[in-house]
Structures are given as C-alpha cells and as structure tokens.
C-alpha cells in the first residue's frame, strides 16, 4: 500500500500532475491523506515538496528508518543532491523530481 500525503484542499496544485499518474500505475492500493492535517506518517508514504506537515513527517520516517517517496519540481541545483547524508536515486519525469531514500 502507498499513502500519498497531498494538498486535498488545493485541486490546482502541481502535485496532482504526479499523484494522479502514481495512483493509476501503482501496483498496490493507494490512499490519499491531507498533508495539512496529518502528522503521524506511515511507512511507504509519498510527499510533494516540504509543504504542509511534509517536512515534519519525512523527518519522523527517517528517524524510524521507514521507506518514503519524495517528489517535487526541481531546479537545476536540485538534480544533484543529498538528503540527510544518504544516497538517493534521482529520476526526472517531465517536470518532476522523484527521490527515494535507500
């Protein structure tokens, strides 16, 4: 199962460009929760940028050594990056950067 923490109150967010595609192609069940209201994330979660409570939830998942997916619209500087001194895999999809912490 994948839990997407998304801006449910903002249907015009660029996040939906990614989340709709992920929801259609993810091999398991996908649920969406409001990233402005949630604060206790589950493993195998997906986030768009550090908006709402996303940064706080990512830090909690890192502390628990849980898997999560982070997506955002990159700048050139973002294409080579390290999060919390961990190796990352970077994939560029149209206008979106997807990062998976190993």
pLDDT of residue 3: 96
Domain extent listing, the chain: 2-101
60 pLDDT higher than 80: yes
Pairing of the two strands 30-34 and 68-72: unpaired
Structure tokens that stand for 2 in this block? 């994948």
Q: Which residue has the higher pLDDT, 19 or 85?
A: 19
pLDDT category of residue 91 using cuts at 50, 70 and 90: very low
Please tell me the distance from the alpha carbon of residue 62 to that of residue 51, in angstroms, as a whole number. 17
First and final CA of the chain: distance in angstroms?
18
Please tell me the distance from the alpha carbon of residue 86 to that of residue 102, in angstroms, as a whole number. 7
| 1-35 confidence digits (pLDDT tens) | 999 999 899 888 888 888 988 998 999 999 999 99
Q: Poorest-confidence range of 9-23, 44-58, 84-98?
A: 84-98
77 pLDDT higher than 90: no
Beta-carbon contacts of 72 under 8 Å, excluding residues fewer than 6 positions away, are: 48, 49, 78, 96, 97
pLDDT of residue 64: 94
């Amino acid at each position: 199962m994948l839990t997407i923490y998304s801006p449910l109150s903002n249907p015009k967010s660029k996040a939906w460009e990614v989340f709709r595609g992920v929801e259609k192609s993810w091999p398991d069940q996908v649920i969406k929760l409001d990233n402005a209201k949630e604060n206790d994330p589950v493993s195998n979660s997906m986030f768009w940028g550090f908006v709402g409570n996303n940064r706080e939830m990512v830090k909690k998942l890192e502390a628990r050594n849980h898997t999560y997916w982070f997506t955002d619209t990159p700048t050139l500087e973002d294409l080579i990056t390290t999060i919390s001194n961990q190796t990352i895999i970077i994939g560029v999809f149209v206008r979106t950067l997807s990062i998976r912490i190993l």
